[in-house]
């Protein structure tokens, strides 16, 4: 056999040997091809389980236990909390359960950016996000299209430490039927005009896309349980009003709080422009319901965004 034929046969054998099984799905890659540029996770193993089987089992159990009402209309997106799974995972499961079995080509996640950065809007420079359940490709083509329709720069950053976007990914990986790409947006700016501009630009470029929206936010932080319940109920009412400006007003008037208020407002402006007209509360709890320490809690709410007409 000629040397070239031997090399070709060896390559085929080695390629077959690199096929691996991963959480009930086969992933096959050619070891001679470069691996994608993956965003390193700063929270896997601490904020959520690192073992893929344990993670999948935990999420599936929460989804099974979550009870959601009969819903009327087309599901456009959800609002979900972003604390560590042990604290907010069951609340988040109520939102993601409504997406179970849906097909979506794209998941658009809008989250706050909790660390300092001198940019109003950010996204990842990496090719994909990685979780124990697999890799999710970032749709950089759509990001570029978004930038063309927005006069505010969306800065691409690497090795970010933001948890609020990543924490939602394993839920999406368990509930959506098909492989999907990711459109990740992190908002540091908290001005209504920036959120509105971003929301309308997203609506413009995504009107022909099959996408699910996820707005990532927690509610009030470090009040006692009774006070938190009052603040959080008011903020959830603002979400349900489908009036993005009112979300910022609640914060300004010390009537309700949400660290992802700009993320939620942006999502409301986007989905409203795309025809959604109803937000329905699904579940609410605080960290105190888990820790049993009610003296200082964080609030978590789950909502669904619907198009009913």
Q: Looking at residue 79, which CATH number applies to its domain?
A: 3.40.830.10
Nearest to 181 by CA among 78, 96, 75, 107: 107
CA–CA dist 286, 123 (Å, integer)? 29
**Helix, strand, coil % (nearest 5) of the chain?**
40, 25, 35
- What is the residue range of 107's domain? 37-307
- pTM recorded for the entire structure: 0.89
4 and 103 in a single domain? The answer is no
101 and 187 in a single domain? The answer is yes
175 and 230 in a single domain? The answer is yes
Q: Are 286 and 299 in contact (CB under 8 A)?
A: yes
63 and 21 in a single domain? The answer is no
pLDDT at position 30? 37
Q: Distances from the Cα of 198 to the Cαs of 90, 110, 242, 290, in angstroms?
A: 30, 10, 17, 35
27 and 176 in a single domain? The answer is no
8 and 50 in a single domain? The answer is no
- Number of compact structural domains in the chain: 2
12 and 94 in a single domain? The answer is no
Q: Distances from the Cα of 71 to the Cαs of 26, 246, 261, 265, in angstroms?
A: 34, 25, 25, 22
24 and 117 in a single domain? The answer is no
Strands of the chain, DSSP E: 20-22, 25-27, 38-39, 74-80, 106-112, 121-124, 128-131, 134-137, 154-157, 181-187, 211-216, 221-223, 278-286, 297-307
Q: Are 262 and 58 in contact (CB under 8 A)?
A: no
CA–CA dist 287, 66 (Å, integer)? 17
CB atoms within 10 A of CB 23: 14
14 and 87 in a single domain? The answer is no
CA–CA dist 108, 83 (Å, integer)? 19
160 and 45 in a single domain? The answer is yes
Q: What is the per-residue pLDDT across 122-142, written as a single tens digit (0 to 9) for each? A: 999 999 999 999 999 999 999
pLDDT at position 309? 78
* Rg of the chain on CA atoms, in Å: 20
pLDDT in single tens digits along all 309 residues of the chain = 433 443 333 333 333 333 333 344 333 333 334 568 999 999 999 999 999 999 999 999 999 999 999 999 999 999 999 999 999 999 999 999 999 999 999 999 999 999 999 999 999 999 999 999 999 999 999 999 999 999 999 999 999 999 999 999 999 999 999 899 999 999 999 999 999 999 999 999 999 999 999 999 999 999 999 999 999 999 999 999 999 999 999 999 999 999 999 999 999 999 999 999 999 999 999 999 999 999 999 999 999 999 997
14 and 151 in a single domain? The answer is no
pLDDT at position 219? 98
4 and 125 in a single domain? The answer is no
Residues 6+ apart with CB under 8 A from 297: 222, 223, 224, 225, 228, 286, 287, 288
Interior angle at CA 95, CA 90 and CA 97, nearest 5: 85
């Amino acid at each position: 056999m000629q040397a070239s034929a031997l090399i070709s046969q060896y390559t085929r054998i080695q390629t077959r040997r690199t096929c691996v099984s991963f959480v009930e799905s086969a992933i096959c890659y050619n070891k001679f091809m470069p691996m994608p540029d993956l965003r390193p996770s700063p929270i896997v193993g601490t904020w959520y389980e690192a073992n893929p089987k344990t993670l999948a089992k935990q999420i599936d159990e929460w989804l099974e236990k979550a009870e959601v009402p009969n819903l009327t209309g087309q599901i456009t997106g959800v609002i979900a909390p972003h604390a560590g799974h042990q604290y907010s995972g069951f609340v988040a499961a109520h939102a993601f359960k409504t997406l179970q079995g849906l097909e979506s080509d794209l998941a658009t996640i809008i989250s706050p950016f909790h660390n300092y950065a001198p940019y109003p809007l950010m996204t990842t420079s990496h090719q994909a996000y990685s979780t124990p359940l697999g890799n999710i490709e970032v749709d950089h083509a759509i990001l570029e299209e978004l930038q063309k329709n927005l006069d505010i720069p969306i800065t691409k950053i690497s090795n970010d430490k933001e948890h609020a976007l990543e924490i939602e990914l394993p839920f999406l990986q368990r509930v959506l039927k098909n492989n999907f790409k990711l459109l990740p947006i992190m908002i540091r700016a908290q001005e209504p005009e920036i959120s509105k501009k971003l929301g309308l630009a997203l609506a413009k470029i995504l009107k022909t896309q099959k996408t699910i929206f996820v707005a990532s936010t927690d509610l009030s932080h470090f009040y006692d349980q009774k006070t938190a319940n009052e603040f959080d109920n008011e903020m959830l009412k603002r979400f349900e009003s489908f009036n993005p400006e009112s979300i910022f007003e609640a914060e300004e008037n010390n009537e309700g709080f949400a660290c992802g208020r700009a993320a939620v407002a942006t999502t409301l402006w986007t989905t409203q422009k795309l025809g959604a007209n109803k937000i329905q509360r699904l579940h609410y709890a605080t960290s105190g319901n888990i820790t049993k320490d009610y003296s200082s809690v964080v609030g978590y709410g789950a909502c669904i965004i619907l198009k009913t007409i």
